[in-house]
Amino acid sequence: MMTLGPIGFMQPWILLALAALPAIWWLLRFTPPSPKVVEFPPTRLLKELKPTEETPARSPWWLTLMRMLLAALLILALARPVINPDEGRFTGDGTLLLVVDNGWASAAYWSARREAIEAAIDRADRDDRTVLIVPTASTDEIGEPLPADAVRERIAGLVPQPFAPDRELGRVAGGDSEGDIRLQRMWLSDGLDYGHAQPFADALAKLAEGGSLTVLKPGPQEAALGVGHARAEGGVLAGRVVAGAKGPLLGRLRALTARGEPLGEAPFVIKAGETEAIAPFDLPLEIRNQVARLQIKGQRSAGAVHLLDAQSQWHRVGIVSGESREEPATPVAALLRGRALSPYADVIRPSERNVATAVNDLIEKQRVSTIVLADIGKLVPATQEELETWLDKGGVLIRFAGPRLEQGGDELLPAALRRGGRSMGGALSWGTPQQLSPFEDDSPFSGLDIPEDVRVNRQVLADPAVAMDAEVWATLADGTPLVTAKHHGDGWIVLFHVTANSDWSNLPLSGLFVEMLRQTITLGPSQVGAPSDEDGEAGDTAASTVRSSATTALAPVQTLDGFGQLVPPPLNAAPIAPDSFDKTVAGPDHPPGYYGPSGQARALNIVKTNSKLVPLPDIEGASTVGFYTLKKPFALEPWLYLAALGIFALDILAVLALSTGLGIRRHHRAAAAIALATLLAATAAPHEAVAAEPDSAMNADEAAEDFALRATLKTRLAYVLTGDGEIDRTSEDGLMGLSKVLGARTALEPGAPMGVDIENDELSFFPVLYWPVREDAEPLSDKTLAKIDAYMKQGGMIVFDTRDQERVAYGGSQGKALTRLIGQLDIPALEPVPGNHVLTRSFYLMNSFPGRWDGGSLWVEAEPADEAERNARSRRTDGVSSVVITSNDLASAWALDEANRPLYPVVPGGELQREMAFRAGVNLVMYALTGNYKADQVHVPALLERLGQ
Listed ranges 164-178, 218-232, 473-487, 665-679; the one with the highest mean pLDDT: 473-487
Distance of CA 649 to the CA centre of its chain: 67
476 or 142, higher pLDDT = 476
User: What pLDDT is attached to residue 43?
Assistant: 55
Residue 748 CA to residue 746 CA, distance in Å, equals 5
Q: How confident is the model at residue 422 (pLDDT cuts 50, 70, 90)?
A: low
> Does the structure show a pLDDT above 50 at 853?
yes
Least confident of 78-82, 733-737, 799-803, 847-851: 78-82
Residue 694 CA to residue 699 CA, distance in Å, equals 9
With 0-12 / 13-18 / 19 or more C-beta atoms within 10 angstroms meaning exposed / middle / buried, residue 509 is middle
> Does the structure show a pLDDT above 50 at 691?
no
Contacts of 209 (CB under 8 A, 6+ apart): 181
**Best CA proximity match to 797, nearest among 710, 888, 717:** 717
Q: Cite the DSSP H helix spans in 810-889.
A: 816-822, 867-877
Question: Contact at 8 Å (CB) between 280 and 237?
Answer: yes
- Region of 613 (left: φ > 0; alpha: ψ -120 to 50; beta: rest) is beta
Element (H, E) at 82: strand 81-83
Least confident of 133-142, 542-551, 802-811: 542-551
Identity of the amino acid at 351: S
Residue 240 CA to residue 885 CA, distance in Å, equals 62
User: What pLDDT is attached to residue 677?
Assistant: 39
**What's the rounded mean pLDDT across residues 600-620?**
85
**Best CA proximity match to 828, nearest among 409, 325, 324, 400:** 409
Q: In degrees to the nearest 10, what's the CA dihedral of 177, 179, 181, 186? A: 40
Listed ranges 6-20, 403-417, 583-597; the one with the highest mean pLDDT: 583-597
> Does the structure show a pLDDT above 70 at 29?
no
Residue 170 CA to residue 163 CA, distance in Å, equals 20
**What's the rounded mean pLDDT across residues 279-303?**
87
With 0-12 / 13-18 / 19 or more C-beta atoms within 10 angstroms meaning exposed / middle / buried, residue 610 is exposed
**What's the rounded mean pLDDT across residues 156-161?**
87
- Model-wide pTM > 0.85: no
Q: Quote the DSSP letter at residue 576.
A: B
Three-class DSSP category at 755: strand
**What's the rounded mean pLDDT across residues 260-279?**
91
Question: Contact at 8 Å (CB) between 452 and 483?
Answer: no
Residue 699 CA to residue 705 CA, distance in Å, equals 10
Least confident of 1-15, 229-243, 491-505, 821-835: 1-15
**What's the rounded mean pLDDT across residues 20-34?**
61
User: What pLDDT is attached to residue 176?
Assistant: 43
Residue 564 CA to residue 225 CA, distance in Å, equals 12
Residue 292 CA to residue 859 CA, distance in Å, equals 58
> Does the structure show a pLDDT above 70 at 409?
yes
Q: How confident is the model at residue 673 (pLDDT cuts 50, 70, 90)?
A: very low
> Does the structure show a pLDDT above 90 at 128?
no
User: What pLDDT is attached to residue 717?
Assistant: 93
Burial 513-542 (b: 16+ CB within 10 A, else e): bbebbbbbbbbbbbbbbbeebeeebbbbbb
883 or 691, higher pLDDT = 883
839-850 pLDDT, tens digit per residue, is 998 899 898 999
550-596 pLDDT, tens digit per residue, is 457 889 999 999 999 999 999 889 999 887 888 899 999 999 999 98
Three-class DSSP category at 520: helix
Contacts of 761 (CB under 8 A, 6+ apart): 707
Q: Quote the DSSP letter at residue 343.
A: T
Contacts of 23 (CB under 8 A, 6+ apart): none
Question: What are the start-end ranges of the E strands in 246-344?
Answer: 249-256, 262-270, 276-281, 293-296, 305-307, 315-321
At 91, give phi and psi (nearest 5°): -70, 150
Beta strand pairing status for 859-861 and 830-832? Answer: antiparallel
Residue 555 CA to residue 596 CA, distance in Å, equals 5
**What's the rounded mean pLDDT across residues 638-650?**
84
Domains of the chain: 2-36+56-84+640-659 (no CATH), 96-221+615-632 (3.40.50.410), 225-314+536-612 (no CATH), 331-521 (3.40.50), 701-946 (3.40.50.12140)
> Does the structure show a pLDDT above 60 at 44?
no
Residue 624 CA to residue 216 CA, distance in Å, equals 8
Q: Quote the DSSP letter at residue 341.
A: S
With 0-12 / 13-18 / 19 or more C-beta atoms within 10 angstroms meaning exposed / middle / buried, residue 498 is buried
672 or 271, higher pLDDT = 271
Task: Return mean pLDDT, the chain.
Answer: 78
User: What pLDDT is attached to residue 215?
Assistant: 83
User: What pLDDT is attached to residue 117?
Assistant: 86
At 145, give phi and psi (nearest 5°): -60, 140
Angle at 652 between CA 646 and CA 653, to 5 degrees: 95
Residue 888 CA to residue 350 CA, distance in Å, equals 39
User: What pLDDT is attached to residue 679?
Assistant: 35
464-484 pLDDT, tens digit per residue, is 777 678 899 999 988 889 999
Q: Give percent helix, percent strand, percent coil of the chain, each to the nearest 5.
A: 30, 20, 50
* Sheet with strand 593-595: strands edge to edge: 566-567, 556-560, 593-595, 602-604
> Does the structure show a pLDDT above 70 at 866?
no
Q: Quote the DSSP letter at residue 89.
A: T
Q: Within 13 Å and on the Cβ side, how many CA atoms surround 262?
A: 9
Distance of CA 948 to the CA centre of its chain: 69
Q: How confident is the model at residue 689 (pLDDT cuts 50, 70, 90)?
A: very low
**What's the rounded mean pLDDT across residues 388-393?**
92
Listed ranges 5-14, 615-624, 661-670; the one with the highest mean pLDDT: 615-624
At 153, give phi and psi (nearest 5°): -65, -35
**Best CA proximity match to 921, nearest among 896, 938, 942:** 896
Question: Contact at 8 Å (CB) between 644 and 74?
Answer: yes
> Does the structure show a pLDDT above 60 at 753?
yes
